[in-house]
Chains A and B, each alone.
Chain A
Amino acid sequence: MELFVQLLANTLQIGAVYVLFALGLTLIFGVMKIVNFAHGAFFTAAALIVTSVVPFATVELGVPLWAGYLLAAIVAIVVVLCLGALVYSIGFQHVLKDLNGSFILSIGLLLILNGAYLAIYGGAPRTVPQVLPGTVSIFGAALTAQRLALVIVAAVVTGGLYLLIERTRLGLALRAVAMDQEAAMLQGMPFNRVALYGFLIGAALAACAGVLMAPINAVTPVSGDEFLIKAFIIIIIGGLGSVTGAIIGGLFIALIESMGGYFFDPSTATLAMFILVIAFLLVRPQGILGNVE
């Protein structure tokens, strides 16, 4: 019993970041109908910024670690939003609803951003001290306080996004544009502005994931790329453009990783994910909750 609680706790820990990351990707696809291979670069930018702002704040400014981390989180999210606005205005707004164009643009952007990160930060892994040290035990499952905080914050952010999508005018506009762009425009919705907001929300979600992961994993200029592959698997399984699908898909992939990694080995679990995504593409290409087009 204790083992299954631990495996469940592992699933939630792993799934929390996957969900945040995949939500941004699926939101951008849903609203703009583009694939963004540079999405991981937003995650990486935020994590790298945290690794440089935290030591600066704690050593140079002399603030406590938690305050330095909060400052780093704010700086990281603001910088990523600015970066998102820049790449949207010079690139993505010209390839809206263009899968081929966005594919080429985002691959090029990814190469440029990865090269820039490498030039600025070097390739060596960077670390941030744990803001919440110590271990907690929940029904016999052990996890670090930092991981527990990550799960809670990820759940709050996901809940907040869900409310935004379901209960606000912006959310209504995002859903309307995702369902039928032309009909939404006929109702007077400014598609370009809604697309920009959707893109920025997606970038902010990736930044949140990067900020949360920085004190947990070593950060490198390609950290985000490693999550990107999983995120694509998640949104294909969950359904491209579906927020609820991304949540279900993220937790499902985390479950496979947790259970498969334990009962077989991590390589087998990775293989299982790819087989699963092939099966979905063959049998149910729209994913669990995606719409057939």
Chain B
Amino acid sequence: MYTTNWLRPLGAAALTLLLAQAGAAQETLKLGISAPLSGAAATWGLGMEWAAEQAAERVNAEGGVTANGKTYMFDIVSYDNKYSATEGARNAQTMLNRDGIDFIAGTIGTAPVRAMQALTERKGVILFTTAWGKSVKGPEFPFTFTQMNTPFEILVPFYNFIKEQHPDLKTAVLISPNDATGQELEPVAVETWKSLGVEMLASDWYERGTTEFQPIATKIATLNPDLVDFSAAPPTDVGSILKELDVLGWNGVKVMSAGTSVDALTAVAGEAAEGAYLGASADFSGETATEVQKELNAGAREALGEPLNGITISSYDAIMALRAAIEEADSIDPAKVQAVLSSVRFESSYGPSGFGGEATYDYPQQLLIPVIVTRVENGKAVELTRSNPAELEALIND
């Protein structure tokens, strides 16, 4: 009788403890992805989704992320933003109001990101983005963090390198998609080329979703510039224009500031893509790639049929930053995580990293990673040069 009385509360306590532990082990933290999973820019979204899943698997396999004595497992939830502001806004509503997501680990497109910010900043939700627009950053957007290099990090070293390789460059044509990303990139690109002594013969716009590129190609071929810069155009659009330019006999310097998916580019353009300079790609299978990047890249080739690039791998880095910030803040409260994100140090896929860019954006919300210039050679992105921003150098040497 005495034994039974003693055992019952003990058993109940043990059961409660076990259930509590089981409950703790099953805590999940949803991380949202809002990216184009269909359409011309789908290769970016699908790659970003895949890299985020790899990062989550890695974090979970290493025991999850611990905050305030609880362990959380990351769970990736993806939404197709179709590269449009309408879908971006709809995704934000779904993520925040229906699915209760407090951390968005990857978004693509300035217009959809602007649409999301109206909600994420108001509700204090952490938003990682690849958006190239300067308008999505600054002290008025403290919950927004950029997860890859943008024109303000890329264009000067990228264009300088191209000009060094082709000192005779005199004239250029800029082709930009007519949306928020293109509109914010265009003046920076024009000014940067002018500062290098390159005259801009034309700066034209096209609508995303355009199917026929012969008029653009005919105009470029008639102007016959030394260089064409395709600005923020996705690889399939650039591939279509390059194919038409090849038919018309133009063969100058090809520049893709947002150049990423080489496989998508060459699938459309074929040999016409050879020699194109890419500002946002990388050779993650080359000598300069880290072991993490090589492993991820090989996995992406197998799973998606094409390698990772600066845009797609960025969700991995965002999740690593998030893990470090949650552990530093010892909380999953987005406000507390946001407070430490700007100063947290973590291991990105590129190596040691953190956030900076206060001199450019008035707020330290730009991921610090190397600027890598690649070129299409035999259908592959081959790294030509890389440079670390001064802040990253300081962080590495710290």
Which residues of A pack against B, CB within 8 Å?
A: 3, 6-7, 10, 13-14, 114, 118, 122-125, 127, 135, 142-144, 213, 217-218, 220-223, 226-227, 257-262, 265-270
Q: Give Cα A10 to B202, complex, Å.
A: 20
Q: Give Cα A260 to B214, complex, Å.
A: 12
A7 contacts B218, CB within 8 Å? Answer: yes
Contacts A125-B268, A218-B239, A220-B40; A3 near B212 (Cβ below 8 A):
no
A123 contacts B39, CB within 8 Å? Answer: yes
Nearest-neighbour CB distance to chain B for A250, whole angstroms, equals: 12
Residue of B nearest to A225 (CB): B209
Contacts A124-B264, A262-B218, A265-B206; A220 near B38 (Cβ below 8 A):
yes
B37 contacts A123, CB within 8 Å? Answer: yes
B267 contacts A123, CB within 8 Å? Answer: no
Which residues of B pack against A, CB within 8 Å?
A: 36-40, 42-43, 45-46, 80, 82, 178, 202, 204-207, 209-212, 214-216, 218-219, 222, 236, 239-240, 247-249, 264, 267-268, 304
Shortest beta-carbon contacts, A-B, top 6: A261-B215, A123-B38, A123-B42, A265-B204, A267-B205, A266-B206
A143 contacts B268, CB within 8 Å? Answer: no
Residues on B with beta carbons closer than 8 Å to the beta carbon of A217 = 211, 240, 268
Q: Give Cα A33 to B244, complex, Å.
A: 39
A13 contacts B214, CB within 8 Å? Answer: yes
> What are 27 sample pairs from A and B whose C-beta atoms fall under 8 A apart?
A3-B222, A6-B248, A10-B214, A10-B215, A13-B212, A14-B212, A118-B37, A123-B38, A123-B39, A124-B43, A124-B264, A125-B43, A125-B268, A142-B248, A142-B249, A144-B247, A218-B239, A220-B39, A220-B40, A226-B209, A258-B218, A260-B215, A261-B216, A265-B206, A265-B219, A266-B205, A267-B178
Query: Which of B36, B216, B222 is the one whose CB lies under 8 Å from A266?
Result: B216
Given A118-B80, A125-B40, A227-B211, output 12 extra A-B contacts at Cβ < 8 Å.
Answer: A3-B218, A122-B42, A123-B46, A125-B42, A125-B268, A144-B247, A218-B40, A220-B40, A226-B210, A260-B215, A265-B216, A266-B205
Among B37, B202, B211, B304, the most chain A Cβ lie within 10 Å of the Cβ of B211
Residues on B with beta carbons closer than 8 Å to the beta carbon of A114 = 38
Residue of B nearest to A133 (CB): B270
Interface residues of A, dominant DSSP: helix
Q: Give Cα A218 to B45, complex, Å.
A: 17
Residues on A with beta carbons closer than 8 Å to the beta carbon of B207 = 266-267, 270
Residues on A with beta carbons closer than 8 Å to the beta carbon of B247 = 135, 142-144
Residues on B with beta carbons closer than 8 Å to the beta carbon of A257 = 212, 215
Q: Give Cα A124 to B202, complex, Å.
A: 31
Residues on A with beta carbons closer than 8 Å to the beta carbon of B248 = 6, 142
Residues on B with beta carbons closer than 8 Å to the beta carbon of A220 = 38-40, 42
A222 contacts B214, CB within 8 Å? Answer: no
Query: Which of B36, B38, B206, B236 is the one whose CB lies under 8 Å from A267?
Result: B206
Residues on B with beta carbons closer than 8 Å to the beta carbon of A213 = 211
A127 contacts B267, CB within 8 Å? Answer: yes
Nearest-neighbour CB distance to chain A for B284, whole angstroms, equals: 19
Residues on B with beta carbons closer than 8 Å to the beta carbon of A269 = 215
Q: Give Cα A123 to B178, complex, Å.
A: 22
Residue of B nearest to A265 (CB): B204
Residues on B with beta carbons closer than 8 Å to the beta carbon of A223 = 211
Q: Give Cα A250 to B274, complex, Å.
A: 35
Among B43, B205, B218, B222, the most chain A Cβ lie within 10 Å of the Cβ of B218
Residue of B nearest to A114 (CB): B38
Nearest-neighbour CB distance to chain B for A52, whole angstroms, equals: 14
Residue of B nearest to A258 (CB): B215
B212 contacts A262, CB within 8 Å? Answer: no
Contacts A135-B247, A217-B211, A257-B212; A6 near B36 (Cβ below 8 A):
no
Nearest-neighbour CB distance to chain A for B217, whole angstroms, equals: 9
Among A135, A220, A267, A268, the most chain B Cβ lie within 10 Å of the Cβ of A267
A127 contacts B212, CB within 8 Å? Answer: no
Q: Give Cα A6 to B267, complex, Å.
A: 26
Residue of A nearest to B43 (CB): A124
Q: Give Cα A213 to B240, complex, Å.
A: 12
Q: Give Cα A220 to B222, complex, Å.
A: 31
Residue of A nearest to B46 (CB): A124
Residue of A nearest to B204 (CB): A265
Nearest-neighbour CB distance to chain A for B251, whole angstroms, equals: 13
Q: Give Cα A145 to B202, complex, Å.
A: 29
Nearest-neighbour CB distance to chain B for A48, whole angstroms, equals: 12
Q: Give Cα A268 to B222, complex, Å.
A: 19
Residues on A with beta carbons closer than 8 Å to the beta carbon of B219 = 261-262, 265
Residues on B with beta carbons closer than 8 Å to the beta carbon of A218 = 40, 236, 239-240, 264, 267-268
Q: Give Cα A125 to B43, complex, Å.
A: 8
Contacts A144-B247, A265-B205, A270-B207; A258 near B38 (Cβ below 8 A):
no
Q: Give Cα A261 to B239, complex, Å.
A: 18
Q: Give Cα A226 to B209, complex, Å.
A: 6
Residue of A nearest to B217 (CB): A10
Q: Give Cα A124 to B303, complex, Å.
A: 13
Among A127, A257, A259, the most chain B Cβ lie within 10 Å of the Cβ of A127
